[in-house]
Every structure is written in C-alpha cells, then in structure tokens.
Amino acid sequence: MDPARANRLQNLPVTSWFHLDRIKKYSWIIFRALLIVGLSFVILYPILLKVSIAFKDKADIYDPTVVFIPRNFTLDNFQYVMDAMNYVEVLIHSFVLSGGTMILTTIACALAGYGFARFAFKGRNLLFGLVILTILVPPQTLMVPIYLLYRDFDLLGLIRLFNGGEGVNLIGSYWPFVISSITGMGLKAGLFIFIFRQFFKGFPKEIEEAAHVDGAGVFKTFFRVMLPNAVPAIITVMLFAFVWQWNDIFFTTMFLDNAKVMSMQLQTVGATIAYQISTSAGGGVGGVDPFYVSMLVNTSVLLGILPLLIMYAFVQRHFVESVERTGIVG
C-alpha cells in the first residue's frame, strides 16, 4: 500500500473505521446471501418447474399468461399417471428391492470395512486397492461377465453337481441383487466399504481392547461395541444405497425383465401414456398432443422422486451430520 494512503487511513477518526468495518461486514453478508440464493435456485428450479407443470390443466399449456402458477389447478394429471404406471404396485416393488439391497449392502460393507480397518493380514493393502478399483472401473466394462455369471450361476461347482451339470439362470429374478449385496459387490459397494473403513480406522482402540478383555469375541465386539457407535456411517451408507438403487437403470435393466420398479417404469412411461391417449381417442399416435404427453411425463417424474424427497425431509438433519462425521466433505 502507498505510504501516504496508509497514513491517511491511520489518521481517520474511530467512527470512520467503524463505518468501514460495518460496510465490509454487510457487503460480505449480502454477497454470501446472493450466492446461496443463486445456487439454491439453480438446484431447485427443475423440481419447482415439475411441481408447477404437474398441477396445470391441459388448457394452461397454451395460455401465454401462465408461467409458474397454474390458472386452473387440477389433480387429474396425478390420477392419470398413477393409473398408467400402476403406481402403488410399482412403489411397493421399488421399496422392496431398494430397501432389501440397502440392508444387505450396509451389513456386508460394514463387515468388510471393519476388517480392513482393524485386522492386519497379508495382502490387506492389495485387497483394499482392488476395492478402490471397483469405484474407478465403469460398470459397463463388466457387463458381459456379470451377465454370464448370473445367467449360468454356479456355487463352487455344487449347483452343477446336483443339477445335472448345469448352472441356474438367475436373470429375471431378484437373486442377482441379493447375492451382489451379500458379497459386498453391489451398486457402489466399493465406496461404502471405503466409508466404513475410514470411520472404523479413526475409532479409539481402547474401547475395542476393553471389550476383548471382557471376553467378547470378534463378532460380538463388532455388533455390540463398534456398530452402535458407527451410526453416522450407517445412515450415510443406507441413504446412498437406497437412493442409488432406486435410480439405477443399468443393473436393473440387465437383471430384470419387465420389472415393475420405478426406474424402469419412468423410462417407458412416455410411450405408455401416448399409446393410452391414442387408444382412448380412437386415432393414431400421430394425433397425440406432444405437449400434453410431456406434461404427464413431468408428473410421472415428480411422482418417482416424491418418496425420496419425503424420506430426505425426515432424515436431512441426521444425514448432514453423518456426512460431516464420516469425512466425505472437506
């Protein structure tokens, strides 16, 4: 800084310094508020737009005065989409699949993460490196061997031994998801093992040693001492596992045929709605209003993410605290 300017600043009265500090303080507050509002709008805009479209009447599509707030509020879009998607049945199947894989994946990854964090054995670093590799390798590169594995599934030769020399075709059932989750090879399982490993690695060894002194074995120590204290990591993994399975298209399409789960239904809901409208109108598909179909598809997407939004609304505080304590951010 120029010495002359520095001297002028030093000679300013105390009140002038006070005003300068207040200006800096409030300028930073305003800048931070504008930044947060801007980022929030960018993130929430697609959801707000879908909510607005879902409650619009068909006549509002062609009304130039209607932008965000519908002129004619209606719930007919929800009723039509729920009937077209068999929403209740699809919702139940999706919760069963996502919830089942979430529980099995959490248990398997917690055990694997505890083993990597607390036990020293030959090849531990190599095996953990392979776990990290599963995070980096795109699942598309493993599509063929994974599909062949479950199309002709065999367990150490035992199935072929008792099944006339043939494996069992598990494609089209939930068994590939169950087996992958139990063995710690489910969707994003490598990341979940890493989260548990980092959490257990920072856990005080004295508590674990005290359990061993009291006569607790490895599994008893894990389930009675380590796991109750790993609630932040458990919440993080469970939510991630549920949401990623709910939104999964790749493995769901590969393992299941015409499965009534949310992710697959949302892929075909546009064609289903267009076909139903053309059939009810007695005309061809070419006579279907594409803007009306797009409005119904937006409504179906909103119904698809609605369970996730409701779930997050109830657990957001625990989820944010869990992410911070597991060390994912920062």
How does DSSP classify residue 157?
T
CA distance 170 to 168: 6
CATH of 78-326, one of 1.10.3720.10, 2.40.30.210, 3.40.50.1820, 2.60.40.10: 1.10.3720.10
pLDDT digits (tens, 9 = 90+) for 56-98: 888 888 878 877 888 888 888 888 888 888 889 999 999 999 9
Q: Quick one: 147 exposed, middle or buried, by C-beta within 10 A (0-12, 13-18, 19+)?
A: middle
Supply the pTM of this predicted model. Answer: 0.81
Q: What is the pLDDT of residue 329?
A: 47
Least Cα distance to 310 among 260, 242, 236, 248 occurs for 242
Q: Residue 170 carries which DSSP code?
A: -
User: Which residues of the chain register pLDDT less than 50?
Assistant: 9, 12, 14, 329-330
* pLDDT at residue 7 in the model: 55
In tens, the pLDDT along 91-135 reads: 999 999 999 999 999 999 999 999 898 888 888 889 888 888 888
Residue 245: what pLDDT?
A: 92
